[in-house]
Amino acid sequence: MAGTEQLPPQQASTDSAEQPGSPDPREPLSVLLRDMRTSPQGLAAREAARRLTVYGPNTLARRGGRRWPRELAQQFTQPLALLLALAAVLAAATGALALALAILAVIVLNALLAFAQEQQAERAVEALAAFLPDRAAAVRGGVRQEVEATALVPGDVLVVEEGSRICADARLLSGGVEVDLSALTGESVPVFRSADFVDSSGPLLQARELLFTGTTCTGGQARAVVTATGMHTELGRIAALSQRTQREESPLEHQVKRVARLIAVIAVGVGVAFVPLGLASGLSLTATVAFAIGLLVANVPEGLLPTVTLALASGVRALARRGAVVKRLSAVETLGSTRVVCTDKTGTLTENRMRVTTVWTPGGECDLGDAVPAAVPEQVHLLAAAAAACTTATPAAGPDGHPTGDPTELALIDLAARLGEQRPPEERDRQRRAMFRFDPRIKLMTTADAENGDAVVLHTKGAPEELLVHADAVLDRGGERPLTSADRAEVFRTVGSLAQRGLRVLAVARRRLAPGQSPPGGREDAEQHLCLLGLVAMADPARPEVAHAIELAHRAGITVHVVTGDNGLTAAAIAARVGIGHRGMRIVTGTELEAMSEPELDILLARGEEVIFARSSPEAKLRIADALRAAGNTVAMTGDGVNDAPALRRADIGIAMGRSGTDVAREAATMVLTDDNFATIIAAVEAGRRTYDNIRKFIVYIFTHAVPEVVPFLVFALAGGMIPLPLTVMQILAIDLGTDTLPALALGRERAEPGLMDRPPRPRSEGVIQPVMLARAWGFLGLISTALVMGGYFLTLSRGGWHPGDPTGAGTALHLTYQQATTVTWLGIVACQIGTAFAVRTEHASLRSLGVFSNHYLLGGIAFSLTFAAALIYLPPLHSVFGTAALTPLQLATVLPFPFVVWGADELRRALLRRHTSPPTAPRPAPTAPALPEPAADTGHHPLAVLLARHGWSARQLSRALGVSEHAAAGIVAHARRIGAEHGRRAP
Ligand SMILES: Nc1ncnc2c1ncn2[C@@H]1O[C@H](COP(=O)(O)OP(=O)(O)OP(=O)(O)O)[C@@H](O)[C@H]1O
């Protein structure tokens, strides 16, 4: 075979060797194939491997040089860094050189830390690519197989299908495809490319027989020979496109940045306000400025933003471990506020393992569930053969092979095999004269297949109600006869009864063309005058873990709507099996949805019921997503087809399937499920909530230390020289950038607080920093810490013999006592922050429910804090830098209870809170949901009253709320029950 020929040595010599396709991909196909040393059968596997080592992997190398120097430099120009720099300049100007140097050190340290954290966050997102290797279908050695896109080489034969991403430049060999070139040319309308066109002139990108890397196939099927890979592709040549895009800032990061800036402004304000205060209390200008700087430094939340970014990145990693790969950091926070999930059914709620259990023909029903009965009517055989002919899927070849294609079709091929009607896929494809692929909008698929020489038979399969529109005959025992309205009624009855069992039902039909007649060129001509062969019903078991996930979603106040292309009854049966619709379920078909006005749709979605949108189109998904978002919901929406891409983009979280979805859907989505499983969506919501909670925890933690840091300065300033300064600026820096950093990071890794999934979703508009958090940080934890710390300071001073007004400066008798007292203040704050770290680990629950020692990162962080503290207190060289002194055991003992007091006080506060307020729980059925125009209108009952009654309001409650007599209210309740029963019948 041509593909196994060796390449000339000069081509094999270097990595940057000219690729064999580079001469001209537009030369005549036979010449191109010869030059490429390949054939329509593709390369042999060994030759492909060899070419891979010669030409290198099919990846785009990054251009644009190193970015880290610029990113590092950016850390120094952040507003907070500039503010600190200003403080350093001021300090230097007033002669406080040591302080100026210390602040500079802080700036450098902070920038390095932030840089490292951001790099790590970026790497976390980038590493996700490894979870989602791009795959491509290639023909190698004549056999179609899935290969990693990076392993494609020039000469490979690609199979391009609807939804696939084109991952190499290629020349079409056969077939035609619609291609979205927007990534390459900006052209937003898909263009048609076909092997039948030959454009030897004009710009390369316009050539109608060529395909290019980075574009996607939006329709059709074709085979193409790869002419260039990696950096030799057109995309590779366009250097600008291969540069890494900037990491987008998440709304949360943006919010935190804003808050940090606001606090910085307040810090400056407090600092400036201190100057007249300091001067008035008799301080020198130098000292006043030094203290003002101290206040500023104490208040600026330096480490906040990078810590948030890192927490989000660790959320991304946690999600990936659970099978949900997100593409941006912001998805983590959005997931946490998800209020509505719109899921499709097949493969997400179900296993996507279909098996035909029943076949219906006009001769009767044939049960094929467990085993094939001894005598299967001829009509069933005919139907199975026709259905299998109308497929493109390929069953597993051999025991180790993997089936490819639509599971519905694989089930039909399996049925044919069970009935002895199977034909090898190659033969099926050889006989095919034309094909109209499955179109999710019309829910039909048709093939034209040769039979017995030149006779052609059209085979159509699809949704029964769609197919019946185009059928006018039926195959009965005696042969083809006209389809009567009684037949139609029976078919619909059968579809209903099969669907109610949760089975997916397809109708199969055929039309024989006259001998010698060529297949119709258009779909509409092909799909008419069909002769119905019968119905196939297939079972697709619900995934076992979904029921629990739905229960969890309901507890968490999340509504789950099913948006499916399948029959409403089938979907409702499956949905009911997994617990969807616990508060009432409604089936809305595609036609009903189309007839619905926007306000009607809004009302339907606001009712609190879960809706099955059946026989829905991709456009319907978009409409539903829009309506839900307009009502203020955070919406997660799943999708897998090319047509789902707009809805995936429009939803807050577009979710694509990693296994069964198309590349186009995966690209449009924010999150990709590597296991296609609904339960993973809920697990991701849980991880999102946990990450968001953790961010709030360390915000409280970081904010708390501001109070015990600021108050000592105020006490000093207001005391008019009677009380020496209890805490130095250097000591503040040692807390903010030393002892507090690791525990704050560790809080980002905290496990979920019990009841996390029993709360309602966070409103979209809610800010990350809530007044109640500030009250807890500043008004409770901060105040207690301050009282303890100041108590420790005065106790140490007075134990050493100090009285207000006594001099404590260098050289005085009380100087050591004073240094020990400031050290106690400092160590006191460190100790209180340890207590705070334990306290903020839960917001409502007692820490016992989480396990006191369960966060190992925090234990490590505290160990680091304590070591750092010990160094500052007991290493003499550090004494002069930080103004600390070695403490006596008694002084140490003063500080020892602090963490327990802070933590204990907060435990008490939470216990009281739990006793007096019930924790927020997910809402019960909303009794105030607006009412749909009810059938009640003609009975004279107020629609809202009926709705309330249907939501469980008793006659007495109704009579009180609406001011009607109890007798009238009882009538409304009875009426509501009747409607409920009718709905129940409509939606089992
Ligand atoms: N390959 C196919 N050929 C012909 N008809 C099909 C094919 N696959 C599905 N159908 C018909 O079209 C209907 C809708 O299928 P579609 O794949 O759009 O949705 P689905 O997979 O059932 O639902 P979901 O959107 O929940 O995954 C099916 O109920 C079936 O009747």
Looking at the predicted structure, is the pLDDT value of residue 935 above 50? no
d(CA 265, CA 80): 10
User: Is there a single domain that holds both residue 875 and residue 769?
Assistant: yes
Report which protein residue has its CA nearest ligand 1's atom 19: 565
The single residue listed with the structure tokens 């030799």 is 232
Looking at the predicted structure, is the pLDDT value of residue 923 above 70? no
Looking at the predicted structure, is the pLDDT value of residue 193 above 50? yes
User: Is there a single domain that holds both residue 868 and residue 779?
Assistant: yes
Looking at the predicted structure, is the pLDDT value of residue 781 above 60? yes
**CATH number of the domain to which 467 belongs:** 3.40.1110.10
Are 519 and 434 in contact by the 8 Å Cβ rule? The answer is yes
d(CA 744, CA 303): 9
Report which protein residue has its CA nearest ligand 1's atom 8: 408
- Look at residue 23 in the predicted model and tell me its pLDDT: 56
Ramachandran quadrant class, 512 (left: phi over 0; alpha: psi -120 to 50; beta: rest)? beta
Of the chain, the percentage scoring pLDDT greater than 70 comes to 86
Ramachandran quadrant class, 751 (left: phi over 0; alpha: psi -120 to 50; beta: rest)? beta
Looking at the predicted structure, is the pLDDT value of residue 289 above 60? yes
CA 4 to chain CA centroid, nearest Å: 44
Does residue 554's CB lie within 6 angstroms of at least one atom of ligand 1?
no
d(CA 71, CA 505): 57
Q: Residue 900 corresponds to which tokens in the numbers above? A: 């327990």
| Stretch 35-62: mean pLDDT | 85
Please write the tens of the pLDDT for every residue from 92-123. Answer: 887 778 778 878 887 888 788 778 877 776 67
**CATH number of the domain to which 560 belongs:** 3.40.50.1000
User: Is there a single domain that holds both residue 209 and residue 179?
Assistant: yes
Ligand 1 midpoint to CA 468 (Å): 16
What 8-state DSSP symbol labels residue 887? P
Ligand 1 midpoint to CA 446 (Å): 14
189-197's contacts with Cβ under 8 Å and 24+ in sequence apart are 190/218, 190/219, 192/220, 193/222, 194/222, 195/222, 195/223, 195/224
253-256's contacts with Cβ under 8 Å and 24+ in sequence apart are 253/305, 253/308, 253/309, 253/312, 253/329, 253/330, 255/767, 255/768, 255/769, 256/304, 256/305, 256/308, 256/699, 256/768, 256/769
The single residue listed with the structure tokens 């939501």 is 951
Does residue 461's CB lie within 6 angstroms of at least one atom of ligand 1?
yes
Does residue 117's CB lie within 6 angstroms of at least one atom of ligand 1?
no
- Helix orientation angle between 678-704 and 815-839, rounded to the nearest 10 degrees: 160
With CA atoms as reference, report the closest residue to 687 among 349, 340, 325, 343. Answer: 325
- Look at residue 689 in the predicted model and tell me its pLDDT: 92
For the chain, the 3-state helix, strand and coil shares in percent, each to the nearest 5, are 50, 15, 35
Looking at the predicted structure, is the pLDDT value of residue 723 above 50? yes
d(CA 238, CA 243): 9
Ligand 1 midpoint to CA 470 (Å): 18
Looking at the predicted structure, is the pLDDT value of residue 969 above 80? no
User: Is there a single domain that holds both residue 547 and residue 534?
Assistant: no
Q: What is the ipTM of this complex?
A: 0.97
Does residue 641's CB lie within 6 angstroms of at least one atom of ligand 1?
no
With CA atoms as reference, report the closest residue to 85 among 70, 105, 56. Answer: 105
Largest CA distance in the chain: 120
User: Given the CA of residue 443, which atom of ligand 1 is nearest to it?
Assistant: 12
Does residue 682's CB lie within 6 angstroms of at least one atom of ligand 1?
no
User: Is there a single domain that holds both residue 557 and residue 448?
Assistant: no
Ligand 1 midpoint to CA 507 (Å): 12
User: Is there a single domain that holds both residue 902 and residue 806?
Assistant: yes
Looking at the predicted structure, is the pLDDT value of residue 61 above 50? yes
Q: How far is CA 183 from CA 1, 215, 675, in A?
A: 36, 6, 28
Does residue 438's CB lie within 6 angstroms of at least one atom of ligand 1?
yes
Residue 175 lies in a domain: yes
d(CA 624, CA 9): 60
Q: Residue 944 corresponds to which tokens in the numbers above? A: 């809202």
Report which protein residue has its CA nearest ligand 1's atom 14: 565
Domain boundary, last residue among 895, 922, 949? 922
Does residue 506's CB lie within 6 angstroms of at least one atom of ligand 1?
yes
Looking at the predicted structure, is the pLDDT value of residue 9 above 70? no
CA angle at residue 341 from 337 to 342, to 5 degrees?
150
Total domains present in the chain = 5
Domain boundary, last residue among 922, 950, 975? 922
User: Is there a single domain that holds both residue 955 and residue 833?
Assistant: no
CA 686 to chain CA centroid, nearest Å: 12
Domain boundary, last residue among 922, 943, 964? 922
Whether 134 is a known active-site residue: answer: no
- Look at residue 952 in the predicted model and tell me its pLDDT: 57
Q: Is 757 exposed, middle or buried (0-12, 13-18, 19+ CB in 10 A)?
A: buried
d(CA 434, CA 451): 13
Residue 794 lies in a domain: yes
User: Is there a single domain that holds both residue 534 and residue 618?
Assistant: no
Report for 517-521, 544-548, 741-745: range of highest mean pLDDT: 544-548
User: Is there a single domain that holds both residue 477 and residue 506?
Assistant: yes
User: Given the CA of residue 463, which atom of ligand 1 is nearest to it?
Assistant: 31
Q: How far is CA 587 from CA 410, 575, 579, in A?
A: 29, 11, 15
Report which protein residue has its CA nearest ligand 1's atom 15: 565
d(CA 434, CA 189): 26
Ligand 1 midpoint to CA 348 (Å): 14
- Of residues 156, 169, 180, 344, which has the active-site annotation? 344
Looking at per-residue pLDDT, the higher value among 185 and 88 belongs to 88
Looking at the predicted structure, is the pLDDT value of residue 652 above 80? yes
- Look at residue 272 in the predicted model and tell me its pLDDT: 84
Sorting pLDDT into bands at 50, 70 and 90, what band is 14? very low
Residue 291 lies in a domain: no
| Stretch 844-855: mean pLDDT | 90
Please state which of the ranges 98-102, 202-206, 219-223, 384-388 shows the lowest mean pLDDT.
202-206
Sorting pLDDT into bands at 50, 70 and 90, what band is 480? very high
Are 473 and 483 in contact by the 8 Å Cβ rule? The answer is yes
User: Given the CA of residue 409, which atom of ligand 1 is nearest to it?
Assistant: 1
CA 504 to chain CA centroid, nearest Å: 29
With the most atoms of ligand 1 within 8 angstroms of its CB, the residue from 408, 439, 662 to mutate is: 408
CA dihedral sign, ordered 121, 127, 132, 137: positive
d(CA 135, CA 132): 9
pTM, 2 dp: 0.75
- Look at residue 382 in the predicted model and tell me its pLDDT: 94
| Stretch 405-413: mean pLDDT | 91
Please write the tens of the pLDDT for every residue from 855-894. Answer: 999 999 999 999 999 999 999 999 988 889 999 999 999 9
Ligand 1 midpoint to CA 464 (Å): 11
- The full 3-state SS of 319-387, as one line of letters, equals HHHCCEEECCCHHHHHHHCCCEEEECCCCCCECCCCEEEEEEECCEEEECCCCCCCCCCHHHHHHHHHH
With CA atoms as reference, report the closest residue to 200 among 22, 28, 23. Answer: 28
Looking at the predicted structure, is the pLDDT value of residue 947 above 60? no
Give the number of other CB atoms < 10 A from CB of residue 591.
11
**CATH number of the domain to which 52 belongs:** 2.70.150.10
User: Is there a single domain that holds both residue 464 and residue 553?
Assistant: no
Does residue 565's CB lie within 6 angstroms of at least one atom of ligand 1?
yes
User: Is there a single domain that holds both residue 535 and residue 549?
Assistant: no
**Beta-sheet pairing, 143-148 with 157-161:** unpaired
User: Is there a single domain that holds both residue 339 and residue 407?
Assistant: no
| Stretch 56-69: mean pLDDT | 68
Ligand 1 midpoint to CA 438 (Å): 8
- Look at residue 738 in the predicted model and tell me its pLDDT: 81
| Stretch 684-705: mean pLDDT | 90
Does residue 436's CB lie within 6 angstroms of at least one atom of ligand 1?
no
**Beta-sheet pairing, 635-639 with 216-228:** unpaired
- Look at residue 487 in the predicted model and tell me its pLDDT: 93
With the most atoms of ligand 1 within 8 angstroms of its CB, the residue from 404, 466, 564 to mutate is: 564
The domain in which residue 775 lies consists of 722-741+749-922
Please write the tens of the pLDDT for every residue from 125-177. Answer: 666 665 556 788 999 888 888 888 889 999 999 999 888 888 889 999 988 88
